[in-house]
Amino acid sequence: MRVRRTAKAVGDFVIEVTGEFVGEVILSLLACALLGCLVLAAYLSWSFSPRLTVAGAGLLGLFLAHGAWRTFRGPAKGRRRGLAAVAAAGFVLAAGTACFLLLYGSGCGCL
């Protein structure tokens, strides 16, 4: 009986470690692909028009700053509507992407 329990515990451990390893590999590949796409988009944008790239980056920065302001400021009367809700969602998406890339993209040796 002890041998069976031990064998089952070892088997469960091996399956869990293998699953975690495969999950880490998949997340690392996804982070490398995302980082590569962001670099490619910046390169293509810069090669098309440096002025529009800087202007677009500035507008995106203002949009994300507005979203951060709407996300972290105290609750106002009523609901968020229109641009404020979209800006807050964009900020949350950008912050989540940045955290994901910090955690998994930092060890990416593909770039």
For the whole model, what pTM was predicted? 0.71
Q: Tell me the average confidence (pLDDT) per consecutive run of 10 residues in the chain, 111 residues long.
A: 81 89 87 86 92 92 90 69 84 90 75 53
* Boundaries of every domain in the chain: 2-104
- Token pair in block for residue 99: 């955290």
For the range 54-57, what are the long-range contacts, defined as Cβ-Cβ under 8 Å and sequence gap of 24 or more?
A: none
For residue 55, what pLDDT is reported? 94
Alpha-carbon span 85 to 70, nearest angstrom: 8
pLDDT value, residue 44: 92
Reduce the secondary structure of 18-82 to three states and give it as a string: HHHHHHHHHHHHHHHHHHHHHHHHHHHHHHHCHHHHHHHHHHHHHHHHHHHHHHHCCCCCCCCCC
